[in-house]
A and B are shown apart, each in its own frame.
Chain A
Amino acid sequence: MKSVRSVLTILVFLILVTAAAAQGVGDFLFGNLRAEIADLRSQLARCGGPPACPERALLQAKLNHLLKMGVMMGEFLGVGDPDVAGTPPRPPAIMPTDATDYMSTRTYVLEKTRMEGPDRVYIVSENRATLAIIDHCRTMKDLDYLGTMLTREEDAARRSPAGRAKTKADVVACIGEHDPKEVSTNRKAAIEYCLQANNYLTSGKGRAPFDACMDRHDMMQAMCKQELELRYEYMMRSPGIPRAPQTCPGVQPNAGEMKAILSAPAASTMAELPAKFLAPPPDVSIPLTAPPVAIPAGTVLETTLLFRGVNVVSVEQGDIPAARLDAPLAVDGQVILTAGTFIFLKARIIGPGTPPNSVQIGLTTTSARLADEKRMELKSDELVFTILRQPPSPFVRQPPALAGFSAFIPSDTKLRFTLKP
Chain B
Amino acid sequence: MTSRIAILIALLAISTAGAAAPASVQDEALRGKTAMSVYVSVSGNSEMNGAEFRLSLEQQLHDIGITVLPHGDPPNYPVLNLTIKVETREVLRRDTPERYPDTPTGRTRTVTVVDYTNKLELRQLAPGRTREMRPIEDVAIWTKADPTKTIGQIDSWNIAPEALDLAIGFVKAWVRINGPHPVTPDRPMPLPDPNAPSPPSNEPGQPLRPSSDQVDRCETRAGGGCVVALSRGVIGSVEGMPNSQRPMVIQQIEDLKKRNQQVITCEYGPSNLQTNRGFAVFNFWYQSAPPDILKLLTSAFAHPFMELGRVAVTACPATRALASQIKGSRFN
Contacts of B64 in A (CB 8 A): 50, 54
Select A33's contact among B88, B157, B243, beta carbons within 8 Å.
Answer: B157
Asked if A54 contacts B45 (CB within 8 A), the reply is no
- The residue on B at minimum CB distance from A51 is B180
Select A58's contact among B152, B171, B240, beta carbons within 8 Å.
Answer: B171
Contacts of A50 in B (CB 8 A): 63-65, 175, 180, 183
Interface extent on A, as a size class? 35 or more
Select B60's contact among A1, A7, A55, A85, beta carbons within 8 Å.
Answer: A55
Given A81-B242, A88-B244, answer yes or no on A7-B156 (Cβ-Cβ < 8 Å): yes
Q: Does B148 contact A (CB under 8 A)?
A: no
Q: How would residues 25 to 43 of chain A score, 1 for a CB under 8 Å from any chain B CB and 0 otherwise?
A: 0000000110010000000
- The residue on B at minimum CB distance from A59 is B168
Contacts of B245 in A (CB 8 A): 64, 67, 86
Contacts of A75 in B (CB 8 A): 240
- The residue on B at minimum CB distance from A11 is B154
Contacts of A65 in B (CB 8 A): 48, 52, 157, 160-161, 164, 301
Contacts of A59 in B (CB 8 A): 168
A278 CA to B161 CA in the complex, in Å?
A: 61
Q: How would residues 124 to 162 of chain B score, 1 for a CB under 8 Å from any chain A CB and 0 otherwise?
A: 000000000000000000000000000011111110110
A49 CA to B244 CA in the complex, in Å?
A: 21
Asked if A64 contacts B52 (CB within 8 A), the reply is yes
- The residue on A at minimum CB distance from B90 is A6
Given A60-B298, A67-B242, answer yes or no on A54-B171 (Cβ-Cβ < 8 Å): yes
Given A61-B52, A62-B161, A67-B300, answer yes or no on A81-B243 (Cβ-Cβ < 8 Å): yes
Contacts of A83 in B (CB 8 A): 242-244
Please report which residues of chain B, range 227-244, place their CB below 8 angstroms from some CB of chain A when the two chains form the complex: 240-244
Asked if B180 contacts A1 (CB within 8 A), the reply is no
Asked if A68 contacts B60 (CB within 8 A), the reply is no
Contacts of A72 in B (CB 8 A): 47
Contacts of B153 in A (CB 8 A): 3, 6-7, 10
Contacts of A11 in B (CB 8 A): 154
A6 CA to B167 CA in the complex, in Å?
A: 29
B38 CB to closest chain A CB (Å) equals 12
A72 CB to closest chain B CB (Å) equals 6
- The residue on A at minimum CB distance from B114 is A3
Given A6-B112, A60-B56, A64-B300, answer yes or no on A71-B242 (Cβ-Cβ < 8 Å): yes
Q: Does A4 contact B (CB under 8 A)?
A: yes
Asked if A14 contacts B154 (CB within 8 A), the reply is yes
A68 CA to B298 CA in the complex, in Å?
A: 13
Asked if A3 contacts B45 (CB within 8 A), the reply is yes
Select B247's contact among A3, A33, A56, A88, beta carbons within 8 Å.
Answer: A88
Asked if A3 contacts B180 (CB within 8 A), the reply is no
Asked if B157 contacts A58 (CB within 8 A), the reply is no
Q: Does B24 contact A (CB under 8 A)?
A: no
Q: Does B299 contact A (CB under 8 A)?
A: yes
Asked if A64 contacts B301 (CB within 8 A), the reply is yes
Contacts of A66 in B (CB 8 A): 157, 161
Q: How would residues 292 to 327 of chain B score, 1 for a CB under 8 Å from any chain A CB and 0 otherwise?
A: 000000111110000000000000000000000000
Contacts of B241 in A (CB 8 A): 71
Q: Does B286 contact A (CB under 8 A)?
A: no
Asked if A58 contacts B160 (CB within 8 A), the reply is no
Q: How would residues 83 to 116 of chain A score, 1 for a CB under 8 Å from any chain B CB and 0 otherwise?
A: 1011110000000000000000000000000000
Q: Does B221 contact A (CB under 8 A)?
A: no
Asked if B243 contacts A57 (CB within 8 A), the reply is no
Select A36's contact among B46, B59, B63, B161, beta carbons within 8 Å.
Answer: B161
Asked if B242 contacts A7 (CB within 8 A), the reply is no
B25 CB to closest chain A CB (Å) equals 22
Q: How would residues 381 to 407 of chain A score, 1 for a CB under 8 Å from any chain B CB and 0 otherwise?
A: 000000000000000000000000000
From A1, A10, A85, name the one whose CB has the most chain B CB atoms within 10 angstroms.
A10
Q: Does A2 contact B (CB under 8 A)?
A: yes
B134 CB to closest chain A CB (Å) equals 37
Q: Does B57 contact A (CB under 8 A)?
A: yes
Contacts of A321 in B (CB 8 A): none
A11 CA to B157 CA in the complex, in Å?
A: 13
Asked if B88 contacts A6 (CB within 8 A), the reply is yes
A232 CB to closest chain B CB (Å) equals 35
A80 CA to B240 CA in the complex, in Å?
A: 10
Asked if B242 contacts A58 (CB within 8 A), the reply is no
A102 CA to B56 CA in the complex, in Å?
A: 47
- The residue on B at minimum CB distance from A71 is B242
Contacts of A88 in B (CB 8 A): 243-244, 246-247
Q: Does A69 contact B (CB under 8 A)?
A: yes
Contacts of A180 in B (CB 8 A): none
Q: Does B53 contact A (CB under 8 A)?
A: yes
Contacts of A67 in B (CB 8 A): 242, 244-245, 300-301
Contacts of A80 in B (CB 8 A): 243
A58 CA to B88 CA in the complex, in Å?
A: 26
Given A54-B63, A61-B53, answer yes or no on A69-B244 (Cβ-Cβ < 8 Å): no
Given A81-B242, A86-B244, A88-B244, answer yes or no on A57-B60 (Cβ-Cβ < 8 Å): yes
Given A3-B47, A83-B242, A86-B242, answer yes or no on A61-B56 (Cβ-Cβ < 8 Å): yes
A147 CA to B171 CA in the complex, in Å?
A: 60
Contacts of B244 in A (CB 8 A): 67, 81, 83, 85-88
A363 CA to B242 CA in the complex, in Å?
A: 57
Q: Does B172 contact A (CB under 8 A)?
A: yes
B332 CB to closest chain A CB (Å) equals 19
B67 CB to closest chain A CB (Å) equals 15
A397 CA to B175 CA in the complex, in Å?
A: 84
Which 5 A-B pairs give the minimum distances between C-beta atoms?
A86-B244, A61-B56, A57-B60, A67-B242, A64-B301
Give A contacts to B, CB under 8 Å. 1-4, 6-7, 10-11, 14, 32-33, 36, 49-51, 54-62, 64-73, 75, 80-81, 83, 85-88
What would 6 A/B residue contacts be, using CB atoms closer than 8 Å? A51-B175, A54-B64, A56-B60, A61-B164, A65-B164, A86-B242
Known pairs A4-B47, A68-B47. 19 more at Cβ < 8 A?
Answer: A3-B45, A3-B156, A6-B153, A32-B155, A50-B63, A50-B65, A54-B64, A55-B172, A56-B63, A58-B164, A59-B168, A60-B56, A62-B164, A64-B52, A64-B299, A65-B164, A68-B301, A83-B242, A86-B242
